[in-house]
Amino acid sequence: MPERTEGGTVTVTIGLVGAGRRAAQVHAPTLAGSPDLRFTGVWAPTPGPVHELAGRHHVQPFDRFADLLDQCDAVAFAVPPPVQAELATTAAQRGKSVFLERPMAGDIAGAEDLAEAVQRSNVVSQMGLAWRYATEVRRFLSTEVGRIKPDGGAGRLVSGSHRPGGSVNAWRIERGVLRDQGVDLLDLLEAVLGPIVGVQAHGDRRGWVGLMLDHQVGRFSEASMSATAAPEIFRADIEIFGPGGEAALDCTRASGPHAYRTMYREFADAVRSGGAPALGARHGLHLQRVLESADTDVLLGT
């Protein structure tokens, strides 16, 4: 259970699973600097960098996952999706709240098992959908969407992050831009236009991918994404159209440190209160199903 200090403040203890680039550059610094969480330690399936990362932030390195779980109320994950699904399911079954990277699993079966474990154990889960926690995105959702009353829209996510010689992990390149980066774009289009109820996709898994999305109540959108453009290119945006006109949102800076600080603050609040974040494991499972359907289309060339 979260600790209560002498002043009455409830402190949530959290451990980090993963010691790779994303864990080191994004999660660990945010956890170490959070006033809402007490960062207890690091464990990773590959133990090599654990001690260095833990030492950098003056927390404990753990040799066993079970030992990390014994020392925390919650666990943040920064490992590949199939690994995350298995480990987070175990953590949830042990009564630990889970902060999940996206996508939440390597396939639908893994996502279903994790979502079921979260529900049965009645623990807090939160997806790391950074765009949704950015100030500019929240402002757009609270003002522009109501003003435009959109019938449809479009989004694009284009970069050179998967080009040869880059710093992205090989497993991300292998799975393609849709699985690696597309979840944020799909989630934001859904937030703007309503739940996605159908998807058609085409393109090259490791090149350009295009999607046609059907949203509830008869709205539609298109999404384009690629991670093999020229290295200097980075586009991340959406635009919407409706009776109220048009509006566009630039998301290139939406996943900065401020978004992660907000995510972890709200995660800590939910763990303390026992609340259920809207962007939890059930939402992650829904996005996983959309993702799998789109990826199947691309692989089959339909």
The answer to whether residue 121 scores a pLDDT higher than 70 is: yes
pLDDT of residue 3: 60
Q: Are residues 222 and 73 located together in one domain of the fold?
A: no
Q: Are residues 92 and 120 located together in one domain of the fold?
A: yes
Query: Does residue 271 lie in a domain region?
Result: yes
Q: Are residues 242 and 143 located together in one domain of the fold?
A: yes
Q: Are residues 261 and 249 located together in one domain of the fold?
A: no
> Nearest Cα to 284, choosing from 134, 90, 121, 129?
129
Indicate the angle between helix axes 108-121 and 81-93, nearest 10 degrees: 20
Q: Are residues 171 and 79 located together in one domain of the fold?
A: no
The stretch 123-141 carries a mean pLDDT of 98
Cα–Cα dist 77/94, whole Å: 15
Query: Does residue 92 lie in a domain region?
Result: yes
pLDDT of residue 149: 98
pLDDT tier at 181, thresholds 50, 70, 90: very high
pLDDT of residue 171: 86
Containing 63, the helix (H) or strand (E) segment is none
Number of domains in the chain: 2
pLDDT tier at 236, thresholds 50, 70, 90: very high
Structure token digits, residue 143 = 């003002």
Q: Are residues 144 and 41 located together in one domain of the fold?
A: no
Q: Are residues 241 and 262 located together in one domain of the fold?
A: no
Is-above-0.85 flag for pTM? Answer: yes
> Nearest Cα to 41, choosing from 20, 71, 11, 66?
71
φ, ψ of residue 293 in degrees (nearest 5): -65, -45
Cα–Cα dist 213/48, whole Å: 42
- Segment 40-89, tens digit of pLDDT: 999 999 999 999 999 999 999 999 999 999 999 999 999 999 999 999 99
Q: Are residues 118 and 148 located together in one domain of the fold?
A: no
Domain ranges, residue 151: 135-253
Cα–Cα dist 277/288, whole Å: 17
CATH (domain of 95): 3.40.50.720
The answer to whether residue 2 scores a pLDDT higher than 90 is: no
CATH (domain of 221): 3.30.360.10
Q: Are residues 96 and 161 located together in one domain of the fold?
A: no
φ, ψ of residue 11 in degrees (nearest 5): -105, 130
Cα–Cα dist 194/189, whole Å: 8
Q: Are residues 48 and 78 located together in one domain of the fold?
A: yes
Q: Are residues 207 and 238 located together in one domain of the fold?
A: yes
Query: Does residue 172 lie in a domain region?
Result: yes
The answer to whether residue 136 scores a pLDDT higher than 80 is: yes
Query: Does residue 267 lie in a domain region?
Result: yes
Average pLDDT, the chain: 96
pLDDT of residue 1: 53
CB atoms within 10 A of CB 80: 17
